[in-house]
Structure 1
Amino acid sequence: MSAVMDFAAWRGRARALLAAGVAPQDAQWGSADDLFGGGGPEHGTHTSAARISGKLLAMLEQAACHRSEDRWAFLYRVLWRWQQGQRDVMSAADEDGARLHAMVKTVRREAHKMHAFLRFRERPEDAGAPRFIAWFEPEHDVLRDAAAHFAQRMGRHSWLIATPQGCAVWDGACLAYGPPLPREACEARDSGEALWLAYYRSTFNPARLNPDALTMHMPVRYWKNLPEAPLIPAMLSEAASGASRLAQAGAVGARGGKAIALDAEKAMPPRALPHTLDDCRRCPLWRNATQAVPGCGPARAPLMLVGEQPGDQEDLAGQPFVGPAGRLLDDAFARAGIGRDEVYLTNAVKHFKWEARGKRRLHRTPAQQEAAACRAWLEQELAQVQPRVVVALGATALASLLGTEARLNDLRGVPVQSGGRLVIPAWHPAYVLRLPDREAQAAAFDDIVRVLRQAQALATDTHR
């Protein structure tokens, strides 16, 4: 059928046929320019209005999007029967009614698939309008339905949707339709696509994989135009080769149950270390943290400071010691004559553990298991930086460096040989901020300064 043939054209010609009393078997549906072949009224013939129900009109309009070869003749037969008083033509129990319902259902399903599986790509800012472009290959003529849907969803962002049959353009205010465009014209390098792929992969749950349901809800014919489709075969393969069992075990382990006292090392089965800190899932803290906070400082530093964990501001900034405790530590550096850029700063635990208190996120001390899960990252930093002296700020850092038997009150300010380096325990700056009176705060602050001076002297002593 010609590209100019649409429901509006069919509707006008069908009304003319009805007015002329042309039965369905006598109407020959040819091209759009000769719609009635030799069996219709002349152009310009006066026609009377055909009265039908709003529900039937809506069904006819939707069924007109179905790409069956005889759709226009079939729709006219339904319309003719309605005008003859055969109201059962709308019933699914009627032969024509059943086909009409099936066509409408198929078109609606295809429109839903287009809503779900159309992927916009954002063009570079200097490329001009439209800002977003997409290519889709629908089985039926659902472009107008999809265009109205995305015009509502995308607001004032301009976009273009192209199909092999035509295209729709939205400028932020008005919809327009045009002829088909080549697929190559709709390709764009979207800088945000990598983020979408990472999100798609992270939400994949191999434990709940059902390949039959997957291909039923997302038929393979749509995959070639989906940016995430290349990931699917590998994820299916991984799930089939054991990832589903691992994921199921993790889900079962996360359920609440009776607590059993067990040593932290034995409670954690051996697992390979992730490639990057952002990928670390060795304990649950990553779920509620904004990001992992790695250490920072010189690649090789004679002096390293290890704190407990990131705080609220560190969690947001992605850097250690930038909050109130970090500012107090800067004051201690200044008093001790140490430049912050000379020291490697890190934490024993890399994710922020907190609890909500109104609108605030309040610090919670990491559990032994959580500190043990992060120990591999601390050992990696120690191996890379190779400090001569490490200052353990607080009990959690001390336990991570010397073991849980070490006590801060007993060892504070005392150098301890461990792993070829000296470890000196000190108060954590946050402890100073929590003290109730100024005198106690001043004494604890002076103690930190004394340990820093001691550590700096030992780190730079070339005779040691």
Structure 2
Amino acid sequence: MLRRIEIDNHFEVWRAASLAALAHGLAPEAIEWRIRESAGATPLAGQTAFDYGETEGNGSAAQAPAVHVSKDLAALLHDAALYREPQRWAFLYKVLWRWQHGDRAVASPADVDGARLYHMAKCVRRARHDMIAYVRFRKQQSDASGPEYIAWYEPEHDVLGWVAEHFAQRMGRSSWMIATPHGAAFWDGSQLHIEARRALCDPHHSDTNDEAESLWLAYYRSTFNPARLNEAALQQHMPVRFWKGLPEGRLIPAMLSEARTGARRVAQASGVTALGGKAIPVEAESAQPARDQPSSLDACRRCDLWRHATQAVGGAGPRPAPIMLIGEQPGDQEDLSGEPFVGPAGQLLNSAIARAGLTRDELYLTNAVKHFKWEPRGKRRLHKTPAQREVEACSHWLAHEFATVRPSVVVVLGATALHALLRESASLSDYLSGPFELEGGWGIATYHPSFALRQRDGAAREKVTAAITGALIKARQLAASRGAGPRGAR
């Protein structure tokens, strides 16, 4: 015999009814779950009573067996309960029934029911995130009755109560209302009410006089740069379905259309001045005026690497110095500290320097590129090899260092440093065999310490470290030799 259970559309009510059903030993296929039609304003945490319908010998939650679910399953059930689907309560009871009868596979995403449960919870959590991100409050006219701020949103799932609590904690005592097609949330400055199943109009169609919104629209329009438009990225981060509820949403289609029909070529030039005349597209490099060379490394703008770096990292060591070491570029720790070779690669280089019978105090250490070039990977900044144009841009500073350090021997660490020294493309392997002559001195090529760090086993790492040590020993011998040549290795 099919038993009917009629409940309010609320997780706590379903939970109480489910415990009672478990107490009666009712299998999922023996129950017909129905939602009681009800309306009216209720506190957010209300509705704890349940109607057990026409089951025989109506029980209560107090008679129910103890049900101990894992913390993860409890969170999944609670979130999936907000998934907008007519059969969600029946499905959640099926999950609870299987768990209570020892079937733990139901909590695994590899299980059919488990996969469905995880999918429902994931969709609800995404709906929560989206609603918080895309709800826009509008201030009502000062003489209007009702809440001070109103917002309209169309959530995919029943997340209104959860999101309303979020805004109640963040908007102080300002009164507001969030209206949706399935109900509304009201905050009077001290208490939150949820009103369900009431026909509500879209408050974005009501009369408002929100000066802050007008300023926001003006700002949004003025900062739009057609030349940098990426429609795919725009729609990924702000899906089209949300534009309806955003004040700036009504501006976006027109701006996209203008970008496609010519504004992309002139970017923001049309808004720079009110003068008439024809806008002439100009390449960015041609538009730059002639400038003097930068007077300090911190002021260098010869390439764009400075935009994403914390600071420029210059060389360190005595001037003059018999030996100069040139690396590729500063790393993450060097970028933060402003000193060269202080990260993991620098620690390995310190070991090689000590093994070669040298100290950092007698060496001049620098890099071919002075700003950290990186790409994001989660919360980390990972090294990215500088382009040839960026190496060329920093040649101004490397030449200045040669003029002041005047080394007899230059040790280049890696291919990028070798390119910077020779000012031409060259293979590092062709120069590893021994010293090569420079103008008035010697050059020695070896591996960059980071190459040793990338080796998979200790033996391979030791082999690379030994090669770096050998290059430093040869540099020490050449610098001490009378045949090293005059200082000024370039």
> What TM-score results when the alignment is normalised by the length of structure 2?
0.48
Hey, what's the Cα distance between the residues in 2 that align with 1:6 and 1:162? 19
The answer to whether residue 109 in structure 2 is matched with residue 92 in structure 1 is yes
> Contact conserved, 2:226 with 2:263, CA < 8 A, in 1?
yes
> Contact conserved, 1:168 with 1:177, CA < 8 A, in 2?
yes
Residue in 2 aligned with 1:14? 18
Secondary structure at 1:154's aligned position in 2? Answer: coil
Q: 1:68: how far off?
A: 1.5
Gaps of at least 5 residues in structure 1 are: 262-464
Of the structure 1 ranges 126-135 and 28-37, higher mean CA displacement relative to structure 2 is found in 28-37
Q: 1:50: how far off?
A: 2.0
The answer to whether residue 226 in structure 2 is matched with residue 195 in structure 1 is no
1:183-215 CA-partner distances (Å, limit 9, x unpaired): 156724133221121122233333332323333
The answer to whether residue 132 in structure 2 is matched with residue 115 in structure 1 is yes
Residue in 1 aligned with 2:238? 218
Q: 1:123: how far off?
A: 1.2
Q: Among all aligned residue pairs of Structure 1 and Structure 2, give the percentage whose two residues are the same amino acid.
A: 51
Alignment of 1:367-446 (within 5 A): none
Q: 1:44: how far off?
A: 4.3
Q: 1:52: how far off?
A: 1.4
Q: 1:222: how far off?
A: 2.5
Relative to structure 1, is the Cα distance of residues 3 and 228 closer, same or farther in structure 2, using a 3 angstrom cutoff? Answer: farther
Q: Structure 1: which amino acid aligns with 2:193?
A: A
Secondary structure at 1:172's aligned position in 2? Answer: coil
> Contact conserved, 1:28 with 1:37, CA < 8 A, in 2?
no
Q: 1:248: how far off?
A: 9.4
Q: 1:181: how far off?
A: 4.8
Relative to structure 1, is the Cα distance of residues 78 and 254 closer, same or farther in structure 2, using a 3 angstrom cutoff? Answer: farther
Hey, what's the Cα distance between the residues in 2 that align with 1:148 and 1:164? 19
Residue in 1 aligned with 2:201? 183
Q: Structure 2: which amino acid aligns with 1:243?
A: A
1:359-412 CA-partner distances (Å, limit 9, x unpaired): xxxxxxxxxxxxxxxxxxxxxxxxxxxxxxxxxxxxxxxxxxxxxxxxxxxxxx
The answer to whether residue 180 in structure 2 is matched with residue 163 in structure 1 is yes
The answer to whether residue 190 in structure 2 is matched with residue 173 in structure 1 is yes
Q: 1:31: how far off?
A: 3.3
Q: 1:131: how far off?
A: 0.9
Secondary structure at 1:30's aligned position in 2? Answer: strand
Alignment of 1:293-332 (within 5 A): none
Q: Structure 2: which amino acid aligns with 1:59?
A: L
1:92-135 CA-partner distances (Å, limit 9, x unpaired): 11111111111111111111111122111101223355210111
The answer to whether residue 72 in structure 2 is matched with residue 55 in structure 1 is yes
The answer to whether residue 273 in structure 2 is matched with residue 253 in structure 1 is no
Query: Pick from 100, 122, 128: which aligns with 1:83?
Result: 100
Q: Structure 2: which amino acid aligns with 1:202?
A: S
The answer to whether residue 252 in structure 2 is matched with residue 232 in structure 1 is yes
Q: Structure 1: which amino acid aligns with 2:8?
A: V
Query: Pick from 122, 130, 133: which aligns with 1:105?
Result: 122
1:35-57 CA-partner distances (Å, limit 9, x unpaired): 76655762547323422123222
> Contact conserved, 1:131 with 1:158, CA < 8 A, in 2?
yes
Of the structure 1 ranges 54-63 and 126-135, higher mean CA displacement relative to structure 2 is found in 126-135
Secondary structure at 1:5's aligned position in 2? Answer: coil
The answer to whether residue 149 in structure 2 is matched with residue 132 in structure 1 is yes
Hey, what's the Cα distance between the residues in 2 that align with 1:172 and 1:256? 55
> What TM-score results when the alignment is normalised by the length of structure 1?
0.50
Relative to structure 1, is the Cα distance of residues 125 and 13 closer, same or farther in structure 2, using a 3 angstrom cutoff? Answer: same
Hey, what's the Cα distance between the residues in 2 that align with 1:109 and 1:251? 44
Q: 1:75: how far off?
A: 0.7
> Contact conserved, 1:29 with 1:35, CA < 8 A, in 2?
no
Q: 1:63: how far off?
A: 0.6
Gaps of at least 5 residues in structure 2 are: 38-49, 270-280, 293-490
Hey, what's the Cα distance between the residues in 2 that align with 1:228 and 1:27? 48
Q: Structure 1: which amino acid aligns with 2:58?
A: E
The answer to whether residue 259 in structure 2 is matched with residue 242 in structure 1 is no
1:146-188 CA-partner distances (Å, limit 9, x unpaired): 1011112212211111112111111222211124352156724
> Contact conserved, 1:89 with 1:97, CA < 8 A, in 2?
yes
> Contact conserved, 2:179 with 2:202, CA < 8 A, in 1?
no
Hey, what's the Cα distance between the residues in 1 that align with 2:258 and 2:187? 41
Runs of 4 or more, structure 1, over 4 Å off, are 33-41, 248-252, 254-258
Residue in 1 aligned with 2:376? none
Secondary structure at 1:111's aligned position in 2? Answer: helix
Hey, what's the Cα distance between the residues in 1 that align with 2:127 and 2:18? 26
1:293-318 CA-partner distances (Å, limit 9, x unpaired): xxxxxxxxxxxxxxxxxxxxxxxxxx
The answer to whether residue 32 in structure 2 is matched with residue 28 in structure 1 is yes
Q: Structure 1: which amino acid aligns with 2:35?
A: S
